[in-house]
Structure 1
């Protein structure tokens, strides 16, 4: 791979135009952030999306690392005086790091090997004679006798040394490794043996005498097998057809009929069993793991994105309940802005007297603060808490709904430094209840405060590469936060630090400036914040909103650099900036925009169509939250019990988690229902994400109930078409 080939190669890999890739690479090299490029540089990149830009950035890094490694390898071979024109050309043509390392293998500085020792004993000429395969007559033993010396005292020693040299030569051949690698990927199998004595809970019992082709192994199974291997419950080995593999190598090595055929077969077998296969087994196992981890991270990222972008239930006074048995159920009430109004503890699983007192207290709190929504954490004692709340609503005919909230990570947040700074007057248990309440008011604003891995929508998240997982999830959060935008005068450090161009230090400086000078009155005022210079302002300004700003454009997604263009657009349509704050005028503007020829307008103003389109969309909905278009989360007033559910019942539920093999759905009872991938669609699908996303609200049909194992099987594809909005 040559430097000048990077752009065409990326364009081919990503199926993009060369000029798109060239522009995107230039913008990335100039330290522009991906959200900024995706939103505000559409003309340059041909409207490349966040996902495309991140993939481009990843592949760009890979290819540049490849070029760097090519240069290192060339220098190393040249220093050894072994570089040829043919070898140099082969190195330049390589497009994969693995192929590059295969070429370099014969020249790589190795630890002291058996072949090196044999060469030191003067046996390399003997090995070269055998390798040449030019003798059709004679005796190999008499040939070997010519190489006896003080260190090689017998013919057997001479032949053993020659075998070691030839075995390493075979092992170092890139074409042999490439062919075997391809064959093993196509026909190799993973064999697993199981130690039941070490598996006290029977977690890995399905892998007793287990064998499966590596090409069909799903990622979740690879990670499960790896976990069992780490616990020493499972022993894993790669199996390939040894005889066939040796025959394959022989076709490369034995090029002429000679007296050395039998000797070469022995050397080939030794090279395969001692050097090649163990190396390929390590490589293929590593690649299987890497692919499986990538898939698991992709699923986690997709789930997290959907969770972060769930519709907020804004404008409610919310009671958050963090259920518990021994220590009671922690309660916090927050107003529509997320401020804590009151807090306390309910003992609803204790004596009847304690339960009655808790009911009275709960009722009083609801009436005192006009609570209209209750958020119940889904942890320990969640079912009992839900039952308690549902009964209270029914008995007193309260105009109030509740919903079950995924509380994963609430305890992590409660004990964090951020939680202590935000809620210094409350203990760790009450902070958890506050978080559970705030999660439904604005899922994004609350969930960014928690380490993504603790949110609980992943699969095998503790078994994958933690650095890659963190990088991917951080990118998801960055995409989600910038997609929604944040209110500059209320955003926390946790939110602000994910805005394009803003790091944790600058985020803290923004909060500090806000505390010292009061609310920001304009985006331009950001330039007064310590360490927030013009470059950072360019990256971040468009994603920050100021409600009730003097300049209406400061409460839109229009970038300050496009303010003059936005004003020209309004003037051309007969409106002014002040009309954006006038409901009647805004409605008139919306009507005009529907009849507008955007291409003609862009041409008249000498502006890009994507930019003009985005400005027009922003002008019609100042302060708009894109999550408002999503369906609101399901709320309830009554509880459903496991014993009430019968197969054939159609229920409504919310997708809570997605794995490679199926979907977990909250259907309003303690146990989440499960839809196996085979029950998601009548058509073939590769992954559940092809059909559903976290947060989707579905009609599902119960196909099995197992009270003993506490399991409920659901189906989406068996629901009558008119009962569901998801395509079958």
Structure 2
């Protein structure tokens, strides 16, 4: 491992080199982000997962840069082009762009005007002109005439000079210093112009999607510095260009660019200088400017994508850590008009007990159905299920017919049955909670392989209802079963680099799962696959072992699972919980490697470990200094004491029931000035989208989030946050709702 990697990463991230080295060694050894952050604090100086992920990503980029560097050196050496000076330049390149600039003149090329001129033997002429700029007596006509050769395709002296200029233009456009100067000008002073596309491509694009012209209307005549264009606007422009609706052009001030080219390449004012000046202008306009336009746009796009991915990751974290209702008997409802409402009855472990379809809504009834009779039958079915199954809460998907179904269920005045378990402070006889659940991605789950394996003999529509109910019980455990991109909290998620997005979202899912912890005896294969150190194959092996041997009685039993060795056990054990097992510490986040410390603490107080976990006053009598070891420092000891004080604690907030404003169910019900409760569904760079229960999310623009300047909307609101908004404007034809938090 190169010391330069460690030094550069530490410098870039303002971290201690020793801590960076420790993190890199742990990562290279196969340790996961959650394991390093939770159980190796002494080694890393207490880095969190974000810092460790930053080290991992920078390390990967540096190694990829070195791989490319070595490939270039091998290529040049193999072609006998590598000189000591060139090797020094390549070895000193600190960025991929600089490395490629140095290599560009030596890269094998396709056929160009310059390569044709070289084939005609004009490179010596180009070199003579370029080197002879200071020679005032140089006769270009005589010089060029010597290179006229009809057999080679050079018919005149002027053609010879033109070919020489082509060669010089390519030299200049491939010069590393010139490219560096042009890149800086384009990045700092380049102006991005966005216009409506011309011709058939635009007509075809708009014809394929009649909304395209409306979606991109705000971008059809705009111009702004590339250094100041916001990430979401740039991604929108790029999407419009990809669809053929918009045309993008990035340009810098030609005068400044040409002046820089002349400063670099014009050495005197002799007769040859005019040819060099013409070549420099041609090299800039024909070769360098288009290249810099593409490079600068690509770099801006990469930054915009990075921001979009960051927004998506933060939103996803809030969704996954949404408070769970807990283990309740649930009536889950996937609402619908014409196709009816699908009902799924779930026990307290989320297992499907029975399913039904009801038709409570007159709107969209199939021909021959009587709305009144169907509604009465629907009422009777729901009442019977709630009474017979002891339902403790009703989960209603927030999709089509969601609000109407919610109102129908509330109108039944359902009550908790005598045998129903209390919900919070609710007791038997109190109103049965009817809770709206965000159903984004439920249809994706219902047709997935995971759903088919879990519920093989159940219709896909019922699987969707099951997923809605389980999301209410435990959002994290259910949402890990689907691709995070289907949850719908991203910004231009289909326009960003798929690999980078997948890595970032995977980091978030794994982080959340391991933060909360996983019940080893009830977790699904999909949830176990996200546990540190396991992955899909070991998760499947754990489930198979559990099915064959029954519930795990201790964490140590994991070592009996085929292919689950000591390394995987070390990474996973601390995040897996066993309630009521042989060792009470197995139900906590205390790692097995630290059990001896917890047992010493209990022994010093002359009590069993189990008693220590139930009495905070006993823990207060402990002296952390007494338990420090070479491996377990103050941070680890403090974590152990904290965990013993609240064993197996869930870091998620307490569940709070939410209800939309009664009587406001459609966009037509909205009036300017209304104040309504809502749930934030998505946070973007330009504001937040809020569900106010009218089947169309409203937008709180960044300027309406609060009084004063707001740089990032995520600093003010979070996905799934409950807020109260004011209606500013309702555009019925475009179905747009403007909201305010002020």
TM, length-normalised to structure 1? 0.93
Deviation at 1:669, TM superposition (A): 3.9
Match of 1:228?
240
Equivalence map 1:346-361=2 (5 Å): 346-350=358-362, 351-361=371-381
Question: Per the alignment, do residues 393 and 463 of structure 1 end up closer, same or farther by CA in structure 2, a change over 3 Å counting?
Answer: farther
CA distance in 2, matches of 1:605, 1:7: 24
1:303 equivalent in structure 2: 315
**Structure 2 equivalent of residue 686 of structure 1:** 711
Equivalent residue for 1:561?
Answer: 593
Cα 1:681–1:84 change in 2 (3 A) is farther
Query: How far off its partner does 1:463 sit?
Result: 1.8
> Residue 79 in 1 paired to residue 58 in 2?
no
Q: Which residue of 1 aligns with 2:148?
A: 148
Q: In 2 relative to 1, CA 590–646 (structure 1 residues): closer, same or farther, beyond 3 Å? A: farther
- Secondary structure at the aligned position of 2:331 is classed as strand
Distance 1:574 1:311 in 2: 38
Q: Is the 8 A contact 1:134 1:256 kept in 2?
A: yes
Structure 1 match to 2:419: none
Q: Please report how far the alpha carbon of residue 697 of structure 1 lies from its aligned counterpart in structure 2 after TM superposition.
A: 2.1
Moved more, 137-146 or 152-161: 137-146
What is residue 466 of structure 1 aligned with on the other side? 498
Q: Answer yes or no: is the 8 Å Cα contact 2:329–2:348 preserved in 1.
A: yes
Which deviates more, 548-557 or 88-97? 88-97
Q: Of 362, 379, 387, which residue of structure 2 is paired with 1:367?
A: 387
Whole-Å Cα distance in 2 between the matches of residues 606 and 114 of structure 1? 66
Distance change >3 Å, CA 519–CA 261, structure 1 → 2: same
How many Å apart are 1:709 and its aligned residue?
4.4
**Contact between 2:19 and 2:43, CA under 8 Å: does it hold in 1?**
yes
Tell me, in whole angstroms, the C-alpha distance in 1 between the residues paired with 2:621 and 2:691.
Answer: 44
Q: Which residue of 1 is the match for residue 43 of structure 2?
A: 44
Q: 635, 645, 651: which one pairs with 1:620? A: 645
Alpha-carbon deviation of 1:390?
2.7
Contact 2:725 2:740 in 1 (8 A): yes
The corresponding residue for 2:290 is 278
CA positional deviation for 1:114: 2.3
State the partner residue of 1:67. 66
Provide the residue aligned with 2:449 in structure 1.
417
The alignment partner of 1:685 has SS state of: coil
Q: Secondary structure at the match of 2:353?
A: strand
Q: Which residue does the alignment assign to 2:425?
A: none
Give the Å deviation of 1:20. Answer: 0.3
Deviation of 1:567 (Å): 1.0
Q: List per-residue Cα deviations over 1:308-363 (Å, max 9, x = no partner).
A: 01110113222211111221010112122212233211102231221222122212
What do the CA deviations read for 1:48-83 (whole angstroms, capped 9, x no partner)? 111111111010011111122222222333334343
Helix, strand or coil at the partner of 2:215: coil
For the 8 Å contact 2:612–2:619, the answer to whether it is kept is no
Counterpart among 178, 181, 191 of residue 189 in structure 1: 191
Contact 1:408 1:456 in 2 (8 A): yes
Query: Does the Cα contact within 8 Å between 1:193 and 1:234 map onto a contact in 2?
Result: yes
- Matches of residues 224-303 of structure 1 in structure 2 within 5 Å? 224-303=236-315
Question: Unmatched 5+ residue regions in structure 2?
Answer: 363-370, 417-428
Distance 1:110 1:59 in 2: 31
Maintained 8 Å contact 1:400/1:637 = no
Residue number among 432, 436, 439 corresponding to 2:464 in the alignment = 432
Gaps of 5+ in 1: 719-728
**1:640 corresponding residue in structure 2:** 664
Contact 2:660–2:676 (CA<8 Å) still a contact in 1? no
Q: How far apart, CA to CA, are the structure 2 residues paired with 1:636 and 1:187?
A: 49
Following superposition, the deviation at residue 630 of structure 1 comes to 4.9
Match of 1:662 among 684, 687, 709: 687
- 2:348 is aligned, of 323, 336, 340, to 336
Cα deviation for residue 403 of structure 1 reads 2.2
Contact 1:372 1:399 in 2 (8 A): no
Q: Could you tell me whether the CA contact under 8 Å between 2:237 and 2:246 is conserved in 1?
A: yes
More off after superposition, 268-277 vs 600-609: 600-609
Q: CA deviation at 1:408?
A: 1.2
| 1:158 to partner: Cα distance | 0.8
Aligned partner of 1:95 in structure 2 is: 94
Q: 2 CA distance for matches of 1:572 and 1:689?
A: 47
| Paired position in structure 1 for 2:729 | 704
Kept in 2, the 8 Å contact 1:394–1:638? The answer is no
* 2:403 alignment partner in structure 1: 383
Q: Match of 1:724?
A: none
Deviation at 1:638, TM superposition (A): 4.5
| Alpha-carbon distance in structure 1 between the residues aligned to 2:275 and 2:76 | 31
Find the residue that maps to 2:677 and give its secondary structure.
strand
Instruction: For residues 684-712 of structure 1, give each alpha carbon's deviation from its aligned partner in whole angstroms, at most 9, with x where no partner exists.
Output: 23221122221222233333344554443
User: In the aligned structure 1, how far is the partner of 2:514 from the partner of 2:660?
Assistant: 32
1-side partners of 2:670 and 2:124: how far apart? 81
- Structure 1: how far apart are the matches of 2:695 and 2:410? 14
Single out whichever of 91-100 and 131-140 deviates more from structure 2. 131-140
The verdict on how the C-alpha distance between 1:318 and 1:11 changes in structure 2, with shifts beyond 3 A counting, is same
Q: Is residue 414–residue 432 contact of structure 2 (8 Å, CA) maintained in 1?
A: no
Preserved contact between residue 601 and residue 622 of structure 2 (Cα < 8 Å): no
- Taking the aligned partners of 2:415 and 2:500, their CA distance within structure 1 comes to 51
3-state secondary structure, aligned to 2:563: coil
Shift of 1:574: 4.1
Q: Could you say which residue in structure 1 is the equivalent of 2:616?
A: 590
Tell whether 2:570 aligns with 1:538.
yes
SS of equivalent to 1:470: helix
Give 1:497's aligned residue: 529
**Aligned runs of 1:2-17 on 2, under 5 Å?**
3-17=2-16
Partner residue, 2:426: none
**Equivalent pair of 1:320/1:436 in contact (CA under 8 Å):** yes
Give the match's secondary structure for 1:671. Answer: coil
1:281 is displaced (CA, Å) by 1.6
Q: Is the 8 A contact 1:118 1:165 kept in 2?
A: yes
